[in-house]
Every structure is written in structure tokens, then in C-alpha cells.
Structure 1
Amino acid sequence: MDRSFYHFALRYRGGGRDDVKALFAEKMFRDASFPKDEEDFDSLSRYIEDQADDDLRSTTFDELYAIYVDLCSM
């Protein structure tokens, strides 16, 4: 990958209140312990599941990660 998942997902910040991707990105940005250099799905997924936060949903992560792989693995 050419960048970490964190840096990829930041592009979704600033969306509306009903935009789950924007809410995820904002929560991720404000989480000082989020693994900012990580690219691995399993490591990121474990971190997100351990947080169990309404704005850091695993379903949204799965969707964002699929887009991340599609766009950044070229």
C-alpha cells in the first residue's frame, strides 16, 4: 500500500452528521491511540473491536477498508 489506512480514511472527515464514514474518520482522528501507521486488516480490526464505540463501527471499517484496498494497492 502507498499509505496507511489512517491517512487514507482522513479524506472522509468533514462530512455530514448522517455520513457514517465521516463520523468514523472524525472519531479515528480524535483517537490519540489509533494505530496511525498500520495497514494490516486484522490488526486494525482488533483495535476497532476493542474500542466498541458507536462512531468507530466495525461495519463502517470493513467498508472503508475494502475501498482502501481497491484504491491503494495498485
Structure 2
Amino acid sequence: MELRRSFYQFLMTERDPNNHSEIAEFANNAFFDHSFPKQSKDYDEISRYLELNGGYLPSMLIFDQAYQLYLDSEA
């Protein structure tokens, strides 16, 4: 399956300052993370980045859920 857009591009569709769901909060915070790998589509690359730099992400399970939504949206 060829992913058309990067994970970051997908995540930005989840941004909503009035929504306090975990994924919306993740998206809102990632927007302000200027080092986020914005062009990446690769789970492992993004996961490694977040493990080292994603202090705003309270649990990697949120990333896993968001990444699954990303895959589902690209199917």
C-alpha cells in the first residue's frame, strides 16, 4: 500500500483547540514541535522520534491509535 501523505499531514487534520481528546491534543502539540519528522510515513522512524522527543505525549499508545487511524484513512 502506497501512503499518499505523511503521518504529520494526516495528524494535522486532527487538530482542534476545542477538542480535548488524546489524539487532538497530540496533534495540537505536534503542530508546535518544529523538529517533528513532517515528511515521514514510517512508523518506526516517528516512534523513535517521539520516544526521544515527545515529552508532550503522555503515552505511546496515543501514537499507536493515531497511526492506525492514519493507515485506515489511507486505505
TM-score normalised by L of structure 1: 0.87
Separation (CA, whole Å) in 2 of partners of 1:4 and 1:12: 13
Identity %: 38
Pairs aligned (count): 72
Separation (CA, whole Å) in 2 of partners of 1:69 and 1:61: 12
TM-score normalised by L of structure 2: 0.85
1:59 aligned to which of 58, 61, 67: 61
In the alignment, which residue of structure 2 is the partner of 1:38?
Answer: 40
Q: Where do residues 4-43 of structure 1 align in structure 2 (5 Å cutoff)? A: 4-16=6-18, 18-43=20-45
User: What CA RMSD, in Å, does the superposition of the two structures yield over aligned residues?
Assistant: 1.5
Runs of 4+ in 1 over 2 A off after TM superposition: 15-18
One-letter code aligned to 2:34: A
Provide structure 1 residue ranges, at least 5 long, that are not aligned to the other structure: none
Question: CA shift at 1:18, angstroms?
Answer: 3.1
Q: Which has the higher helix share?
A: 1
